Chain A
Amino acid sequence: MRHLISIEDLDRSDIERICDRAAQFSEVADREIKKVPALRGRTVLNLFYEASTRTRSSFELAAKRLSADVVNFSASGSSVEKGESLKDTVLTFSAHKPDAIVIRTPWSGAAELVSRWTPAAIVNAGDGKHQHPTQALLDVHTLRSRLGSLDGLRIWIVGDVLHSRVARSNITAFRRMGAEVTVAGPPTLIPRDIETLGCKVSYTLDGLGEADVVYALRMQLERMHGVWVPSLREYARRYQIDGSRLRPGQLLMHPGPVNRGVELSAEVVDSPQALITAQVAAGVVVRMAVLYEVLAHAPAPAREPQPDHTAA
């Protein structure tokens, strides 16, 4: 695997291979010395155009546990604010010859675009509302660790599907692993034609009882009120996963950070049914597996960047 850009690029066996390797790496996290030399001498660049603490630190930790060198770049206070284009930023960093670039941007398709400009392996850490493939992989890994398999599992993804790259990646990943997926939320937050991804659509939680797994999405509070839903109060009344809606035996997931009292009630967040901290732990080992997959597992990439504009 040369890059990880979209979950669409992975078939079931790819997903299983990455999760199996993640399971091997989870043993490392339990050691006193939490480091293996797999990527010693390799350089991983974290290129983040969006604020992110958890995803970035998860990638950083993953790279360091594999003994890679890590460089962090965030767009604020940088050349980006001086007007440098994405392409020039990538060409500049590419000149330092990183082996992998982990990139997060607010723009759909940016990770794919960047892969054309650098010989480094690209790992998409979120491109706009498009894809967040390592989130999908860590969620699959979390469920496999808990249940062994996703085959026949019924998974409900609840909330703001419209603005969610997590939903888009997870629908595909869960389907490829054999699960049935339903997305549920207010009609204003369910994109038209989303069922072309192979999921069912529900505007109420009436059928939520059938779910084996309830996956709640984060409401982006600052952009929601009065525009996409009449009020967060009404949203919470109709779509919040709370103790009355989560039946015993159902598993609860959330990509974080949680808005307690909005999409989830405090009692379910703190209940043993919630896998939320297991997801965070899975994040590091799955990202180790992904970095290993694109770096150690593949031959080192060609060193010369492809010429872009032919110099006369």
Chain B
Amino acid sequence: MNAPILVSAPAAPADLLIRGAHVLDPRTGIDEPRDVLIRSGRIAEIGAPGSLPADEGVELIEAAGRHLFPAFVDPHVHLRSPGQEHKEDIASGTAAAAAGGFCAVLAMPNTDPVIDSPALLRSLRDAAARQARVPVGFMPAITRGLMGEELTEMAELREEGAAGFTDDGKPVVAAGMLRKALQYQRLCGGVIALHEEDPTLSAGGSMHEGAISAQAGVAGIPSVSEAVMIARDAMLAGYEDGRIHIQHLSAAASVEAVAIAKERGVRITAEASPHHLCLTHEAVRTLDTNMKMNPPLREESDRRALIDGLRSGVVDCIATDHAPHARHEKEVPFEQAPMGTTGLETSFAAVYTHLVRPGVLDLGLVVRRLSDGAALFDLPTPRIEPDARADVVLVDLNAEWVVGEDGYVSRSDNCAFDGQRLAGRVLLTVASGAVAFRADALRREEAAA
């Protein structure tokens, strides 16, 4: 019997009446103003606006004009623990997740040391059981030390609660190594999530290979370095009937490779990040190190393909790849800076502002894709319906804010959207039945009431 995947610190179950918010849950089909009563951390009742009474012991939140969504689930974050707590830790990273409307996250293993042993996984889960503001699961490494040479003890890691496996930050370079992991997956299950790049094509690169890299004189990462590995690994997964998930797609050719594999019946899913959906390599022209991430921001045609993929379902979900770095690490010349942008606190607002407001994507689709990652990793999918556990996020779509102006909940401030004016502010996050985040704006309203 495997341990449960998600762990979090104990928190008091919420008793809330969220009155009059526009409830939007594409899975249950609600799309209208509703009262939502949460008792002891579960959705007790959903009724017409103003119809449900605020009983004693229930906090009333007047939410007319706001939106209530199923909370978001992020299958790809870097919490940097153990060993890199100057960038982020379990407490700060899950607090940032709560501030972004997430009710569950999966943490990547490229820490120091790498999460590649059952003992280390157990100790991290113990720490999460004391510190995690929202439920967190861990994705240990496929190969020991991310070295690509020996399998981790995948079966025992699964027993200890591993959500799946990934060498994220690096590809599994040797096809034979990945093949063995896919074979072993038959024994223990667990999605194998893949960071795809062929290092013989990408090594030394700091940005997308194209006009900007040519002009800046910075070595480029060609889009094919991702697509060729996806094609290879999809072939392997098809041959071994393995279950793979492609992380952070960045290029049109990659979307195409995933689509072809899906048509062939390969058990493959894929994610895209808000920054790849909203930004292009034009943002890198000034050599702002917050715009340096792997995979890199690419061209408008790539961005369009990712959006189309998200709409059609070739791209299954949005994942942030929240990758915090300390200021002194990013405050260096572009080529020396580490790869990564934070994303948990801006994911909804970025996608809402850049894609929903201009009419590119439906709000309902975005809300869905922000939690579609859950089912891919066998996590519970948040639903707004009676008797469901309360995993909800209250958002003010009209609230505009300048990213970073009031600081960040994350320990790091390397956000690709820093300084942008975005619409859509998370006011309240209920995760696993407990209030995990409450915006200052909501506190002030309550104080005034």
Contact = CB atoms under 8 A, between A and B. Distances in A.
Contacts of B336: 107
Interface stretch (B65-73, B212-220, B346-354): B212-220
Given A107-B333, A107-B336, A196 B218 contact: no
Contacts of B331: 85, 87
Contacts of A196: 211, 214-215
A108 B332 contact: no
- Centre residue among A85, A109, A112, A113 by max chain B CB count within 10 A: A109
Interface in B286-336: 286-287, 328, 331-336
B214 A194 contact: yes
26 contacts: A86-B332, A86-B333, A107-B335, A108-B216, A108-B217, A108-B333, A108-B335, A109-B286, A110-B333, A112-B287, A113-B287, A113-B332, A113-B333, A127-B333, A128-B217, A129-B217, A130-B217, A130-B218, A168-B215, A191-B213, A191-B220, A192-B213, A192-B222, A193-B209, A194-B214, A197-B215
A65 interface: no
A192 B213 CA distance: 9
Contacts of B210: 192-193
A165 interface: yes
Contacts of A142: none
B282 to A, nearest CB: 12
A108 B331 CA distance: 14
Contacts of A191: 213-214, 220
Contacts of B286: 109, 112
Interface in A96-155: 105, 107-110, 112-113, 127-131
Interface in A170-199: 191-194, 196-197
B213 to A, nearest CB: 7
Interface magnitude class on chain B: 20 to 34
Interface of B: 209-211, 213-218, 220, 222, 286-287, 328, 331-336
B332 A85 contact: yes
Contacts of A109: 216, 286-287, 333-335
A128 B218 contact: yes
Given A108-B335, A163-B217, 9 more contacts: A85-B332, A86-B332, A86-B333, A113-B332, A127-B333, A129-B217, A130-B216, A165-B217, A193-B209
Given A107-B334, A108-B334, A192 B209 contact: yes
Pick the 10 closest A-B CB pairs, nearest first.
Answer: A129-B217, A107-B333, A109-B287, A196-B211, A191-B214, A130-B217, A193-B211, A110-B333, A194-B214, A193-B214
Nearest to B328: A85
B287 A108 contact: yes
Interface in A74-95: 85-87
Contacts of A112: 286-287
A87 B328 CA distance: 9
A55 to B, nearest CB: 17
Given A107-B334, A110-B333, A168 B217 contact: yes
A85 B336 CA distance: 11
A166 B125 CA distance: 54
Contacts of A127: 333
Contacts of B209: 192-193
Nearest to A172: B215
B209 to A, nearest CB: 6
Contacts of B217: 108, 128-131, 163-165, 168
A300 B218 CA distance: 34
A108 B334 CA distance: 7
Contacts of B335: 107-109, 128
A108 B211 contact: no
A109 B336 CA distance: 11
A277 to B, nearest CB: 27
A197 B213 CA distance: 11
A107 B332 CA distance: 9
A151 to B, nearest CB: 24
B220 A192 contact: yes
A206 to B, nearest CB: 23
Contacts of B287: 108-109, 112-113
A217 to B, nearest CB: 13
A234 to B, nearest CB: 23
A92 B216 CA distance: 28
B334 A197 contact: no
A131 B218 CA distance: 11
A222 B220 CA distance: 21
A86 B218 CA distance: 19
Contacts of B334: 107-109
A127 B211 CA distance: 18
Nearest to B299: A193
Given A85-B328, A86-B333, A113-B333, A108 B214 contact: no
- Centre residue among A105, A128, A131, A197 by max chain B CB count within 10 A: A128
A163 B219 CA distance: 9
Contacts of A105: 333
B244 to A, nearest CB: 30
B236 to A, nearest CB: 29
Nearest to A49: B333
Nearest to B209: A192
A33 to B, nearest CB: 40
Contacts of B222: 192
Contact of B214 (A110, A113, A192): A192
A265 to B, nearest CB: 28
Nearest to A194: B214
Contact of B218 (A108, A192, A193): A108
Contacts of A128: 217-218, 333, 335
B415 to A, nearest CB: 18
Contacts of A86: 332-333
Contacts of A85: 328, 331-332
A194 B218 CA distance: 12
Contacts of B216: 108-109, 130
Interface string A277-309: 000000000000000000000000000000000
